[in-house]
Amino acid sequence: MKKPTRVNHPPPIELAADNRPVIAPIYQSVKFEFDTLEETERYLRGERPGFFYSRASNPTTRQLELLLAELQGREECLVTASGVGAVAQALLALTKQGDHILCFVETYNPTRYLIRRLLGRFGVTHSMLSIEDAAGIERALAAHPTRLVWFESPTNPVTKVADIGAITRLAKSAGALVAMDNTFAGLHQHGEYDIDVFVHSLTKYASGAGDVLGGAVIGRGDLIRSMRTDFGMLGGTLDPHAAYLILRGLRTYFVRYQAQSASAQRIAELLASHPAVARVHYPGLPSHPRHELARAQMKDFGTIVTFDLKGGAEASGRFADALQLFAMTASLGSTESLVVTAQMMGGRDLSADQQAISAITEGTVRLSIGLEDIDDLIADVTQALSA
C-alpha cells in the first residue's frame, strides 16, 4: 500500500475483550461500515444492531442517551445539538396540523415562541395560562381536545412550582400527552411522575462547565423511538465530541448540584433578610408560596435564586454592575455564578396581563449559584446590595 493510500487507511488497533479503556473513546466519525453488503442491508432493514451514519446515531452519543434515560428513570432518550433544539424537535415530532397545545405564561421564552409563532404557522393552536391556575387548566382541557400539555417546574426565572401530580392527572384524563422541561430541577428529580416526555438543556447542569451546548428528550421507549426518524431528518444532531464533554461533566453532576443548591439556600436566606429586597423567589424558603409542594416533589430545591429589589430597574442595574464574582450573561447551572436582570430576560411577547402573571418586575434579578466558596459569594452579594 502506497503512503497516500495508507494515510487514509491507517493500521487498525483492536483491544482484547479483557482490556478495556476506563473512559470510553470518542467515536469522532461520521460513517461506520459493516464487513459485507448483506450485513449492511440487514442493518438498514432494522434486523441487526450497529451504527451507519452519525446523524442517525453514534456510539458516543448513544452512551450519553442511555445514561440520561437511566438518570431520569425512563427507557429511551434522544440527544440534540442544543436545549432549544430539543424543545423544537420534540414539538415538531409530537404535533401536527389541527392539534392543540396547553402551555403556560411562565414558560421559557424560546419555547413560547416555538409554540405560538412557529407551530402557529403550521396550524397548531394553543391555550396559555398561569402554571398556578388549576381551575383554568381543567377548563381548558375540557374546552379543547388537546394533544400536548407542556410545562416546566420550577419555572424560569421566578421559580414557580407546578403541581406536577395534578397537571398530569388532568392531562391524562383528557387524553393529552405531557411534556415537562425539567432543566431547572435536573435529571435526578420528578422521574416518579407520569410524564411522557422530559426535556433538558444539557448545556446547564449535565455539562456543568459552560463550554458545550446540548439537549435531550427522554421518555418511554415506544414514544421516543417513534420520534427518532423525525429527529434524524431535522438534523439537529449532537456532535460526538460534545457528547463526550457532557458525559465527562455528568461524572460530577450530583456533587455539583447538591453543593450549588446548598449555597443557593444560604444566598436566598441572606436576601430574604435584607431591607433592599422586596421578595425572594426560592422554593427552599418557607416564604415561597408553594414551599410545601416543593418539599413534597423535590429532593433538592435548585441553584437558581431570583429576587425583586425595591428600587426597581435602577437598583437592579447597580446591583448587577457591583457584583464581582457573578458573570453578567445568559444560561445557568455552570460552576461559575451568573446574574441576569429583568431587562435581559425578555418577555416582550407577553401582554400586560401576562407580564403580571409572569411575576417579573423591573427590579427582578436572577442569580445562578456556582461552586465558589459560599463565604465569598455572600460577601459579594452583600457588598453589591450596599450599592
**What's the pLDDT score for residue 223?**
98
pLDDT for 104 beyond 80: yes
- Distance in Å from the first CA to the final CA of the chain: 72
**What's the pLDDT score for residue 359?**
87
DSSP state letter for 114? I
31, with CB counted inside 10 A (0-12, 13-18, 19+), is: exposed
Q: Are strands 327-328 and 338-341 parallel, antiparallel or unpaired?
A: parallel
Q: Are the C-beta atoms of 178 and 192 separated by less than 8 Å?
A: no
156-214 pLDDT per residue, tens: 999 999 999 999 999 999 999 999 999 999 999 999 999 999 999 999 999 999 999 99
Q: Are the C-beta atoms of 304 and 184 separated by less than 8 Å?
A: yes
pLDDT band per the 50, 70, 90 thresholds, residue 281: very high
User: In the chain, what percentage of residues exceed pLDDT 90?
Assistant: 95
The position carrying cell 412550582 is 161
Distance CA 1, CA 99 (A): 60
3-state DSSP call for residue 113? helix
| Domain over 253-386 is classified CATH 3.90.1150.170 | no
Q: What is the CATH number of domain 37-250?
A: 3.40.640.10
236-264 pLDDT per residue, tens: 999 999 999 999 999 999 999 999 999 99
**What's the pLDDT score for residue 22?**
95
3-state DSSP call for residue 20? coil
**What's the pLDDT score for residue 351?**
85
Return the domain boundaries, the chain: 37-250, 253-386
**What's the pLDDT score for residue 343?**
87
DSSP string for 139-196: HHHHHS--SEEEEESSPTTT-----HHHHHHHHHHTT-EEEEE-TTT-TTSSTTS--S
**What's the pLDDT score for residue 328?**
97
Greatest Cα pair distance in the chain: 78
For the chain, the average pLDDT equals 96
Mean pLDDT, range 254-281, rounded to an integer? 98
Distance CA 216, CA 81 (A): 9
